[in-house]
Chain A
Amino acid sequence: MISLTSPVEIWAHRLPAWLKLAALSLATVCLFAIESPAVLALAVAAVAGLFLTGGRVFLAEGFRNLRILWTFLVLIAVWHGVTGQIEAGMAIALRLLAAVALANFVTMTTRLGDMIDVVSFLLTPLRRLGLSTRALELAIALVIRFTPSIARKGALLTQSWRARSPRRPGWQIVMPMAALAIDDAEHVAEALRARGGLE
């Protein structure tokens, strides 16, 4: 399974994941507290600077990850252009851009394994209390293992639909996909029990 970590290794990949996550939380709280468009523009420039240190390929990848935002930025521009509250609109747009880009930066420079280590550390108190976190670890592994497999089965169902019908495949694919997911789940459960279960 492909993660969103950037294949372009930059300096931030080498920072500890907890440090990046803590800095991100702090920065996001600050961004939402700032009201002045000028300060927010500085924040956007700083985030852009972070991406620039990664080089051209990294920067381009960062831009691609922001594509969902453009609709909203246009929407804000039109809305505030019409109502005339230009300054408020600038602040909202800049804050949104900085917050999302910074969060993406952390995701792009942190490996999945490092993220899981942080989660596992945060769950230590639960283990101290005697609760098992094995169920969660197993569930995470199962999702990563089965998402591509179920997606592939969905693609096969789509193909066989196309072979049989001139019409485009529609929602009819969803029911067999869900049934196949249930079958997989029952097999996995049986296999887990056969190997001694979770206890």
Chain B
Amino acid sequence: MERNIALIALFAALVAALGLVPKLTLGFGVPITAQTLGIMLCGTVLGARRGALAVLLLLALVALGLPLLAGGRGGLGVFAGPTVGFLVGWPVAAFVTGLIVERWRSAPLALVAGVASIIGGVVVLYAFGAVGMAVILGKTIPQSALLVTAFIPGDIAKAVLAGLVTAALAKSRPSSVLSRL
């Protein structure tokens, strides 16, 4: 019980901290915010239920008025803005990612976690993001899907990284990768 709460809270803090760290750059010089990577890690490391709870906890604190989103954003305004769909999709993305890692045990963890992150953190998340944008900006869903496609390659790269980081964590902290216990 205590351990679950501590891990959930610390992963929420990790996602927030990943948004505070000065921008990381991918190999070819594209700056990324690592926050989506954090969401994927919540799922791949903590598993479906705990991962989703960690993300929900973070969103609750953002709604309370803490600047925990990348670039120091936060407050109730972000839930009225065009990117609300992505925020709503975050816990679902972590849940789906975690569920896949928990169930699919026959392949190497790096591969499983990478694929799970693409399905949860890109496919599922962008579905929510596109719907949210369609509602707020008054566009059809294909139109708003078009608006967000520019960010998909970066997030696929993050999903691959999430797979590698998860595998490295499973080696260095095996008892803490709850999704595979």
Q: Choose among A119, A168, A184 the residue that contacts B10 (Cβ–Cβ < 8 A).
A: A184
* Bound: A195/B156 CA distance, A: 43
Asked whether A178 and B14 contact (CB < 8 A) given A171-B161, A198-B2, the answer is yes
Q: A interface, by DSSP: helix, strand, loop or mixed? A: helix
Number of A-B contacts (CB under 8 A): 204
Q: Does B8 contact A (CB under 8 A)?
A: yes
* Bound: A96/B73 CA distance, A: 17
**Count of A interface residues, CB-CB < 8 Å:** 73
Which residues does chain A contribute within 8 Å of B37, judged by CB atoms? 171, 174
Contact with B along A135-155 (1 / 0, CB 8 A): 100111011101111110111
Q: Choose among B17, B75, B79, B139 the residue that contacts A177 (Cβ–Cβ < 8 A).
A: B17
Q: Choose among A4, A79, A181 the residue that contacts B11 (Cβ–Cβ < 8 A).
A: A181
Q: Which residue of B lies closest to A139 (CB)?
A: B9
Asked whether A96 and B14 contact (CB < 8 A) given A103-B75, A144-B66, the answer is no
Q: Choose among B18, B74, B81 the residue that contacts A4 (Cβ–Cβ < 8 A).
A: B74
By the criterion CB–CB under 8 Å, are B73 and A146 in contact? no
* Bound: A65/B1 CA distance, A: 38
**Count of B interface residues, CB-CB < 8 Å:** 60
Q: Which residues from 17 to 73 on chain B have a C-beta closer than 8 Å to any C-beta of chain A?
A: 17-18, 20-22, 24-27, 34, 37, 41, 45, 57-58, 60-61, 64-68, 71, 73
Question: Could you list 11 examples of A-B contacts with CB < 8 Å?
Answer: A3-B66, A4-B65, A5-B65, A92-B136, A143-B16, A169-B24, A174-B34, A177-B14, A178-B169, A179-B169, A197-B1
Q: Which A residues fall within an 8 A CB radius of B?
A: 1-5, 24, 28, 65-66, 68-69, 72, 75-76, 79, 88, 91-92, 96, 99-104, 106-108, 110, 112, 115-116, 119, 135, 138-140, 142-144, 146-151, 153-155, 158, 168-171, 173-175, 177-179, 181-186, 188-189, 192-193, 197-199
